[in-house]
Structure 1
Amino acid sequence: MRRRLVPAAAAAALLALLLAGCSAGSSGSEAPMMEPGQQAPQVEGEDAAGGTAADGAKLAERSVITTGWVSITVDDPVDGAQRAVDLAEARGGRVDSRSETPGTDAQPPSASLTLRIPSDDLDPFLAELRELGTVNSVSMNASDVTQQRNDLEGRIDALTASTDRLQQLLSEATTIADLIAIESELTTRQAELDSLTQQRDALVDQVDYSTITVDLVTEAVAPDPQPDDFWSGLAAGWNALIGFATWLGIAVGVLLPWALAALVVGAIVLVIVLVATRSRRQKPPAPGPTPGASDPAAPPVPPASDAASQPPHERTPQA
């Protein structure tokens, strides 16, 4: 029994020596021993939280798409639209759409713009835009697309590396079958890479340039303020009543010709029905059978005897 324990103890000692040597060899890459209260030296490019400076910058950089709508009352919407365009171009922006309607007898003038403003200059641009006239309403919306942008960037990087690898394999191919297979796969990957690149570029453009829709109107079409006391409420109710009466008069004027036409058609139909009813009542009854005429459907009458048919004075008495 003791003979079996000796080799086992020797093997355990040898294993302990090997582990000690491995730990001693790896101690060169570990941090040196520190005194109590001494802080570990930071690696270059690493922050106090344990992450690198690049990771901190990536977390601080957010991708946000900002859209907004502004309604402004001005004296001349066409001139106000040109001033808004000048303000946008001065900030490095651009005009995506522009619509202007000059004033006529039927409708007041108005203008509508869709402007793309650099996101960093959005607040100063809005402050300058408020000086064009009286701001009726402002609506802003922000959407965070950081995750979507990171996903696109990751897929683009993976497809770029895959495309480069396929191009390298294409240059090293020796058979026609390999060339055809690699070119087909390379075409598919390149098309997908181009599509993702276009999506990424469009997303980046929306992040870098905020979209602002500007509606310029006059006092005639500007929204009325809400009543805030009894007299303003009374005035608002009276104006609503006048507006309803005006609308009702217009509706009656529109429907009156149709009502007259329907009345004429109804009168004509009524006259035709009355004439038809009167002519039906005055129609003579059908002629009946004449007296003495035999009915064809009646059974035949047997002929009378000769004596019965003779006159009374010519009859001879029978014995």
Structure 2
Amino acid sequence: MKVLIIGGEGQLGSSLSQQIQNETFAQFEITTMNELDLSKEENIKEFFEHTDFNYVVNCTAYTAVDKAESDRVMARLINAKAIQWIGRHAAEKKAGVIHVSTDYVFSGEGNTPLSPREPVNPTSVYGTTKAEGEQLLAMENNQSIIIRTSWLYSEYGNNFMKTMLKLGSEKETINVVYDQIGTPTYAGDLAAAILHILRKTAADAQNFVPGIYHYSNEGVCSWYDFASMIFKIKGLNCFINPVLSDAFPSVAKRPVYSVLDKKKIRQQFGLTVPFWVNSLENCIKNI
């Protein structure tokens, strides 16, 4: 089995790159945004025509949530149109797609864990373009697995955990919102889940079951709780002042509640999902 990974330079792509080094169940090829410009369909078509693969894992996205509000054209190009083209030209090769989406496709106005069957209702350009990308991919390629995730962090790139580690070592007091509820997702765990699905697929192609799935770590917390646990694990003495979201005005609206229901992905693929605190401890140890 041959697998193409698009977006090898991001948090998830970097985590996948690290983990596939010891995998023998498939041959992997990793490409970055510099090597594959997703802004033009002909680029994707030509690249796919000259690349041999059975499955493609797309880790790329336009993730600048606030900037997307004024950069709608580019956000839609990368989050929606490019995903349509990936699905279309993968289908021409009879190749399946694993695509990573986001909790931002929901309004975040509920108070119970969100199942994959929940109707999407995005409130930002980022969420709207990601939702459109899901729909276009499903239309173009009926062998597509869409995995929505939330609050992604890792040893790589810029993320909330690394920002907190920096601020916690530099400041005596910081403000962190406590009225946004969700679950952190360690990119290393999401990468392992994707590889688990691919490994089962290599053993039997029938194990690749298309559809929409949710994946984050287990448990529930606020951003304040997340920051507090980061400081506790690292032994930082910075005081965290819990504040309302209003203290951090943003251009794009954030989901207030985005806890994802993981039952479907656990049952379908036999996955064990780690508790968010345990994964956070592992990530901090790796830095």
Give the TM-score normalised by structure 1: 0.17
Structure having the higher helix fraction is: 1
Give the TM-score normalised by structure 2: 0.19
- Larger of the two Rg values belongs to structure: 1
